[in-house]
């Protein structure tokens, strides 16, 4: 199962369905008119709508202007501004990191160096980033957790980030199970590796963190909340679960 963060319409559903794209809402964009794209012969309507959203999305333009690799960078920025979780000198693991927007933000905010790095993992290719150690590996491989800790120099991470998203099938029940599995795997890694007091932030979808997952997080962390940053499109079912104050494994 691969990460689809920052990918186009061929890399999995990003949410949005059939809503028409809107013009700039004034949040950092420069466009006042909505651009529409004609559906080319042989191209799916969903692909055309994705292109339209990109053309008219103020966060896409902000990300390009600021040099971020994806609009997703602003989701982490907005979450961190509301609930400061990234502090200088920390160590951070970014699961499903490609194309690298979250790793960029994390590296900037912790002042990443060789001694306090960001370690990013993804099965997809990812170009180098200052202060970031990149593992081109599937997070679900048995050796991945050990490789991540080794890349941190044996230190436990202070923050585990997960913007992992599954390839979707269009079958709601199947997609729900895939999403739950991703969150469970990421949460299990966080509980096994986080330093005491650490933070776990993961993408979920509506209905994706029910029952046992939330119960386990509330047992192991001082506070668990759901967050939907403004950069997350209103029509998207995604939200984020933020667990802070890891109690440790005892």
For the segment 129-183, what is each residue's pLDDT rounded down to a tens digit?
Answer: 999 999 999 998 999 999 999 999 999 999 999 998 877 777 777 777 888 888 9
154 annotated ligand binder: no
**DSSP of 52-92:** HHHHH-HHHHHHHHHT-SSTTHHHHHHHHHHS----TT--E
In-domain check, residue 95: yes
In-domain check, residue 191: yes
Write out the residue range of the structural domain in which residue 41 sits: 13-66
Contact status, residue 105 vs residue 97, Cβ threshold 8 Å: no
Contact status, residue 56 vs residue 31, Cβ threshold 8 Å: yes
Q: Are residues 59 and 89 in the same domain?
A: no
In-domain check, residue 81: yes
Q: Are residues 53 and 131 in the same domain?
A: no
Q: What does the pLDDT average to over 46-69?
A: 69
Q: Are residues 38 and 128 in the same domain?
A: no
Q: Are residues 179 and 230 in the same domain?
A: yes
In-domain check, residue 1: no
Instruction: Quote the pLDDT of residue 61.
Output: 79
Q: What does the pLDDT average to over 172-198?
A: 89
Residue 221 has pLDDT above 50, yes or no: yes
Catalytic residue among 38, 75, 203, 228: 203
Closest of 242, 146, 231 to residue 200, by C-alpha: 242
In-domain check, residue 4: no
Q: Are residues 102 and 128 in the same domain?
A: yes
Q: Are residues 53 and 163 in the same domain?
A: no
Instruction: Quote the pLDDT of residue 47.
Output: 56
Q: 10 Å Cβ neighbour count for 28?
A: 15
94 annotated ligand binder: no
Q: Are residues 78 and 118 in the same domain?
A: yes
102 annotated ligand binder: yes
Per the annotation, the verdict on 87 as an active-site residue is: no
CATH, residue 91? 3.40.50.150
Closest of 227, 216, 215 to residue 191, by C-alpha: 216
122 annotated ligand binder: yes
Residue 217 has pLDDT above 90, yes or no: yes
Q: Are residues 91 and 199 in the same domain?
A: yes
Parallel, antiparallel or unpaired: strands 199-205 and 238-246: antiparallel
Structural domain count, the chain:
2
For the segment 36-52, what is each residue's pLDDT rounded down to a tens digit?
Answer: 544 545 555 555 554 55
Interatomic CA distance for residues 186 and 170, integer angstroms: 23
Interatomic CA distance for residues 71 and 239, integer angstroms: 15
Q: Are residues 44 and 77 in the same domain?
A: no
29 annotated ligand binder: no
Instruction: Quote the pLDDT of residue 242.
Output: 96
The helix/strand/coil state of 227 is: strand
Q: Are residues 51 and 81 in the same domain?
A: no
In-domain check, residue 82: yes
In-domain check, residue 5: no
Instruction: Quote the pLDDT of residue 56.
Output: 59
Q: Are residues 61 and 80 in the same domain?
A: no
End-to-end alpha carbon distance in the chain? 32
In-domain check, residue 189: yes
| 131's tokens | 């202060």
Q: How far is CA 92 from CA 71, 116, 249, in A?
A: 20, 8, 18
Q: Are residues 138 and 168 in the same domain?
A: yes
């Amino acid at each position: 199962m691969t990460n689809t963060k920052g990918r186009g319409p061929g890399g999995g559903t990003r949410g949005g369905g059939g809503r028409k794209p809107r013009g700039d809402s004034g949040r950092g964009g420069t466009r006042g008119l909505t651009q529409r794209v004609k559906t080319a012969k042989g191209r799916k309507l969903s692909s055309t709508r994705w292109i339209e959203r990109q053309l008219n999305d103020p966060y896409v333009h902000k990300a390009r202007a600021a040099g971020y690799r994806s609009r997703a960078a602003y989701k982490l920025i907005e979450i961190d501004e509301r609930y400061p979780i990234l502090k200088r000198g920390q160590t951070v693991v970014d699961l499903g990191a490609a194309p690298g927007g979250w790793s960029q933000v994390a590296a900037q905010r912790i002042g990443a160096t060789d001694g306090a790095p960001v370690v990013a993992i993804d099965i997809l290719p990812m170009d180098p980033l200052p202060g970031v150690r990149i593992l081109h590996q599937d997070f679900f491989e048995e050796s991945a957790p050990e490789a991540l800790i080794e890349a941190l120099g044996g230190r436990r991470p202070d923050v585990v980030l997960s913007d992992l998203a599954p390839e979707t099938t269009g079958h709601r029940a199947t997609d729900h199970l895939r999403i739950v599995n991703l969150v469970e795997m990421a949460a299990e890694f966080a509980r096994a590796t986080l330093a005491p007091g650490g933070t776990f932030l993961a993408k979920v979808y509506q209905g994706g963190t029910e029952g046992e997952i939330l119960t386990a997080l509330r047992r192991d962390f001082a506070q668990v909340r759901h967050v939907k940053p403004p950069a997350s499109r209103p029509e998207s079912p995604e939200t984020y679960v933020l667990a802070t104050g890891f109690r440790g494994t005892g």
